[in-house]
Amino acid sequence: MTQALRLGIAGLGTVGVGVVKIVRRHADLLKARTGRSIEIVAVSARDPNKDRGVNLSDYAWETDPVALAKRDDIDVYVELMGGENGPAKASVEAALASGKDVVTANKALLAIHGQELAEQAEAAGRVIRFEAAVAGGIPVIKSLTEGLAGNEITRVMGVMNGTCNYILTRMQSQRQGYNALFDECAELGYLEADPNLDVGGIDAAHKLALLASIAFGTKPNFDGIEIEGIQQISLDDIDQAEDMGFRIKLLGVAQRTARGLEQRMQPCLVPSDSPLGQLEGGTNMVVIEGDAVEQVVLRGPGAGEGPTASAVMGDVCDLARGLQILTFGRPANSLEAAAPAVTGLPAPYYLRLGLLDKPGALAKVAAILGDAGVSIDRMRQYAHAESTAPVLIVTHKTTRAALDIALDRFRETDVVAGAPVALRIEEV
Amino acid sequence: MTQALRLGIAGLGTVGVGVVKIVRRHADLLKARTGRSIEIVAVSARDPNKDRGVNLSDYAWETDPVALAKRDDIDVYVELMGGENGPAKASVEAALASGKDVVTANKALLAIHGQELAEQAEAAGRVIRFEAAVAGGIPVIKSLTEGLAGNEITRVMGVMNGTCNYILTRMQSQRQGYNALFDECAELGYLEADPNLDVGGIDAAHKLALLASIAFGTKPNFDGIEIEGIQQISLDDIDQAEDMGFRIKLLGVAQRTARGLEQRMQPCLVPSDSPLGQLEGGTNMVVIEGDAVEQVVLRGPGAGEGPTASAVMGDVCDLARGLQILTFGRPANSLEAAAPAVTGLPAPYYLRLGLLDKPGALAKVAAILGDAGVSIDRMRQYAHAESTAPVLIVTHKTTRAALDIALDRFRETDVVAGAPVALRIEEV
């Protein structure tokens, strides 16, 4: 009989407890599927006395995750503490150096230090697996790295922060403003300790950096991502986008362009009747496009005890079965340092601006757009009680640079009130 | 440098040509990802002189696929001929016996003979991979077997025949009847040589048998599937289901019940606003539910040169990377012979019947349902010009057995015209 696969788990929050539960509940099932017993040998967390609702008395306890990672009696180090530096990084390095494979849910760690850690893993002949780091329970890392390995990937995009999507869909369905929903999320515990990680788009951008690396064979480059959060989205934008047939999503998009690797995480408009447009609440969705497969859409829970633990266990089962995949799907030293595309590919844009009630106002706006080379697809001016008329414009495809010239010139006129809102329309 | 992975491809139809194109186009990419060159050594098809739009002159030609499968100079036998017996089966057996791994898109072969072939493969220390056999380009076999291996799967379901979904969505959007659309599909080449494989639900049922085997650790049991095609679906059903908030899909469902393994492939109603309800045209969708992951939804092209070749190449890349997965995700001799559940779990049903214009007619129908223990959730009687009133009933959850008693009694009354339509409503 093959020897058991022995796990050391650092971090006993929601996900860690979820993993412990699966290992205990499904001992027979996991053995039937992988051909090996999967056992937890030791665990590590801050407070050994806290009641976590699960029996941990069979496992050795380490207060120091680095000590856990180095233990001779584990085969796989499961890092579920989080954080891009500190104990997470130190313990992963210690695990690799002492010959352990690593399974982690830590998107920040890999988005920032993925390249060096992948190199360390390969030098040690070990692997780092991180299905749980991206889009919770959806097996997206596996689909992209393995299932779609025959494709040149042309674009990968997704809604990968459930809290942002919850806020945006509640704004639409419940007519609540951003600030009220932000407060509600804080009360419900839906927000990270630093809420900017969620609503500022950073958490989702970490995930995008990992997907882009696998998709395009490039070094993970978090700093190369253009990031914009959802804080500026108003109920007016939600309504008027809907009126034009669109919904607003915090959408991550990565694609190769002639001028480099484009990586954006920003509020975008997508067609209301597309799978992305129809995605509601905390659910995640990743869209993968390849030259052979055309388009595959994966949807599932982006967070939570069960779904995230499911992803961790998928990686653990791979290791139990002896399946060894390189961290980003190819040797780390072959990953390319792709230059970030300074501006993305041309796209249609949604513009919302307040037009002052003056003769010729609309003509001025139209002329500025025309002069900048931005062509108008659709325009609506809404009835208004105040002296400012809400005007919505959907442009034909244009570069962001051309649009920025027009936005600058709007500021110089005397007919546009306040700052116009400009959101990219992603063709899906 | 690791030696090249050498392929022998039998069957040069759409999918085979697609595989040849990917191997030629992406030689460098495939090597970068898998660490090995992937080469085609020999091919086999009926007509060596046909122009297939791709250069085959570099490859040895075998007229007999069994001879191809036995060649000493191939590592992987790629079977893309189809058919549940004949050359497909003989050549796969020959490949395994002579120490080759097998990649196939052949759902019928594995649904019928999967158990014995998996046993042969394991006895020979080889594997059979078949991502392309189920739902075209969607990496669903991989997601279910590997990514979700930490879950007890509770239900797997899907729309897995693009032609049927094309017909059903065109009936709704274009107001065309089934027969006209069937003829259109025949002209467009969307139908198998035996169209009953498509519209009769058999092709999709082959796929369901494979998913159920992996999901539940059971021997593939095609004969245990309750199969019903879409031939009886009328425009009235489409309209009236929509009016009640549902769409009709040819839906495969597999789940474990206390009384055995339930496997159904039949037209079902699903909520119009669910991902399954919103699925249009030839696209496929598979929904996987597990105790940890909750629900994952995978969507993509179910057929075509590129998508199906993408799935074949996913398997080939796995083999090039040295990833060996057992055919149905666990040892073939450990698969259980699950008894088919004679009737499925209770569900709500949609009933459409023609009620004759007689006093007390509706009361009689309601009484029959009540006597059979079938409780009514919603009922609509539509305005009518003829002497028969269309009546729609949505029941609360009931067993099919109870419903069948009521349907029998309807036939004995003098108030119901013709045979009522009864369709299951699947809760998604």
Q: Are B292 and A309 spatial neighbours (Cβ–Cβ below 8 Å)?
A: yes
The reply to whether B122 and B81 lie within a common domain is yes
Q: Do A291 and B306 touch (CB under 8 A)?
A: yes
Residues A113 and A152 in one domain: no
Closest CA in chain A for residue B284: A296
Cβ-based contacts of A298 with chain B (< 8 Å): 296-299
The answer to whether position A325 is within a domain reads no
Q: Is B139 on the interface with A (CB under 8 A)?
A: yes
Contact assignment for A143 to B146 by CB distance below 8 Å: no
Dihedral (CA of A246, B173, B416, B357) sign: positive
Domain match, B196 and B63 both: no
> Tens digits of per-residue pLDDT, B258-310?
888 999 999 999 999 999 999 999 999 999 999 999 999 999 999 999 999 99
CATH of the domain at B66: 3.40.50.720
Domain of B152, CATH number, reads: 3.30.360.10
Do β-strands B376-381 and B388-395 pair in parallel, antiparallel, or remain unpaired?
Answer: antiparallel
> Which among A148, A299, A313 has CB closest to B139?
A148
Give how far Cα B246 sits from Cα of B184, B241, B273, Å.
25, 5, 8
Q: Which of A368, A362, A413, A414 shows the shortest CA–CA distance to A391?
A: A362
Say how many CB pairs under 8 Å bridge A and B: 191
B207 counts as catalytic: yes
Q: Which residue of B has its CA nearest to A289?
A: B300
Helix A14-25 vs helix A305-320: crossing angle, to nearest 10: 60
Q: Is the pLDDT of residue B394 over 60?
A: yes
ipTM over 0.85 threshold: yes
Average pLDDT over residues B83-92: 96
pLDDT tier at A1, thresholds 50, 70, 90 = low
**Nearest one of A191, A397, A165, A369 to A284, comparing CA atoms:** A165
A118 within a domain of the structure (yes/no): yes
Tokens at A330, concatenated: 């190819």
Whether A21 maps to a domain, the answer reads: yes
CB B172 within 8 A of CB A168: no
CB A78 within 8 A of CB A312: yes
In a domain, A15, yes or no: yes
pLDDT bucket at B1, cuts 50 / 70 / 90: low
Looking at the structure, tell me whether residues A105 and A155 fall in a common domain.
Answer: no
Q: Which residue has the tokens 């190819």?
A: A330
Preferred mutation among A31, A143, A280, A289 to probe B, highest tally of B CBs within 10 A: A143
Q: Which residue of B has its CA nearest to A215?
A: B33
Say which residue the tokens 């009540």 belong to: B370
Query: Residue B320 falls within a domain, yes or no?
Result: no
Condensed to tens digits (0 to 9), the pLDDT of residues B199-229 reads 999 999 999 999 999 999 999 999 999 999 9
User: How far is residue A348 from each of residues A143, A172, A236, A287, B146, measured CA to CA in Å?
Assistant: 30, 22, 19, 20, 40
The pair of three-digit structure tokens given for residue B295, joined into one six-digit string: 């629900």
B121 and B150 belong to one structural domain: no
A313 vs B contacts (CB less than 8 Å): 149-151, 292
Residues B154 and B289 in one domain: yes
Q: Inter-chain contact B152–A26, Cβ cutoff 8 Å?
A: yes
Whether B331 is in a domain gets the answer no
Tell whether A29 and A111 lie within a shared domain.
yes
Dump strand ranges (E) for B277-316.
283-290, 294-301
- Based on the fold, state whether residues B298 and B202 are members of the same structural domain: yes
CATH number at residue B412: 3.30.70.260
Residues 149-168 of A with CB under 8 A from B: 149-152
Cβ count within 10 A of residue B239: 15
Confidence band of B90 (pLDDT split at 50, 70, 90): very high
pLDDT at residue B72 greater than cutoff 80: yes
The answer for residues whose C-beta is within 8 angstroms of residue A313's C-beta and 6 or more apart is: A19, A22, A23, A30, B149, B150, B151, B292
In a domain, B321, yes or no: no
Active-site residue, from B207, B219, B364, B397: B207
Of B137, B138, B293, the CB nearest to A310: B293
CA distance B326 to chain A (A): 9
Yes or no: say if A42 and A91 are a contact pair by the CB < 8 Å rule.
no
Q: Could you write out the three-class secondary structure of chain A?
A: CCCCEEEEEECCCHHHHHHHHHHHHCHHHHHHHHCCCEEEEEEECCCCCCCCCCCCCCCEEECCHHHHHHCCCCCEEEECCCCCCHHHHHHHHHHHHCCCEEEECCHHHHHHHHHHHHHHHHHCCCCEECHHHCCCCCCHHHHHHHHCCCCCEEEEEEECCHHHHHHHHHHHHHCCCHHHHHHHHHHHCCCCCCCHHHHCCHHHHHHHHHHHHHHHCECCCHHHCEECCCCCCCHHHHHHHHHCCEEEEEEEEEEEECCEEEEEEEEEEEECCCCCCCCCCCEEEEEEEECCCEEEEEEEECCCHHHHHHHHHHHHHHHHCCCCCCCCCCCHHHCECCCECCCCCCECEEEEEEEECCCCHHHHHHHHHHHCCCCEEEEEECCCCCCEEEEEEEECCECHHHHHHHHHHHHHCCCEEEEEEEEEECCC
What pLDDT sits at residue A111? 98
Within its chain, how far is the Cα of A388 from the centroid?
38
- Mean pLDDT (chain A, rounded): 95
pLDDT at B189: 87
Tokens of B135: 């739902």
pLDDT (0 to 100) of residue B80: 98
- % pLDDT > 90, chain B: 90
* Rg, Å, chain B Cα set: 24
Dihedrals phi, psi of B412, to nearest 5 degrees: -85, -15
Q: Which residue's structure tokens are 């890349």?
A: B317
> Do B381 and B258 share a domain, yes or no?
no
The total domain count for chain B is: 3
Instruction: Give the distance, in angstroms, between the CA of residue B55 and the centroid of all CA atoms in the same chain.
Output: 33
Query: CB distance from A294 to chain B under 8 Å?
Result: yes
Are B155 and B292 in the same domain?
yes
Q: How confident is the model at residue B386, as a pLDDT?
A: 78
Are residues A103 and A210 located together in one domain of the fold?
Answer: no
Q: What is the pLDDT of residue A122?
A: 97
User: At residue A259, does pLDDT exceed 70?
Assistant: yes
pLDDT over threshold 70, residue B325: yes
Asked, for residue B316, whether it belongs to a domain, the answer is: no
Which residues touch B348 (CB under 8 Å, ≥6 apart)? B377, B394, B395, B396, B397, B398, B424, B425, B427
Inter-chain touch B292–A314, beta carbons under 8 Å: no
* Full domain range(s) for residue A87: 5-133
Partner A, chain B 299-338, Cβ-Cβ below 8 Å:
299-301, 304, 306-307, 309-314, 316-318, 321-325, 329-331, 334
Q: Do A142 and B142 touch (CB under 8 A)?
A: yes
Of A33, A304, A309, the CB nearest to B330: A33
Pairwise CB contact (< 8 Å): B137 & A293: yes
Mean pLDDT of B13-42: 98
Is the model's pLDDT at A342 over the cut of 80?
no
Q: What is the pLDDT of residue A338?
A: 87
Q: Could you tell me if B172 and B252 lie in one domain?
A: yes
Contact A146 B138 (CB under 8 A): no
Q: Which of residues 71-100 of A touch B (CB under 8 A)?
A: none
**Residue-wise pLDDT tens digits, B328-387:** 999 999 999 988 887 678 999 999 999 998 889 999 999 999 999 999 999 998 887 778
Compute how many other C-beta atoms are within 10 angstroms of the C-beta atom of residue B361: 18
**A307: nearest CA partner in chain B:** B293
- Residue B194: exposed, middle, or buried by beta-carbon count in 10 A (0-12, 13-18, 19+)? exposed
Q: Can you give the pLDDT at residue B341? A: 85
> Does residue B71 have a pLDDT over 90?
yes
Residue B350 and residue B390: Cα distance in Å, rounded?
13
Give the model confidence (pLDDT) of A7-57 as tens digits: 999 999 999 999 999 999 999 999 999 999 999 999 999 988 899 999 999
B231 burial level (CB within 10 Å; 0-12, 13-18, 19+): middle
CB A78 within 8 A of CB A60: no
User: Whole-number mean pLDDT of chain B?
Assistant: 95
Count of positions (residues) in chain A: 428
Q: Average pLDDT for residues B307-329, to the nearest whole number?
A: 97
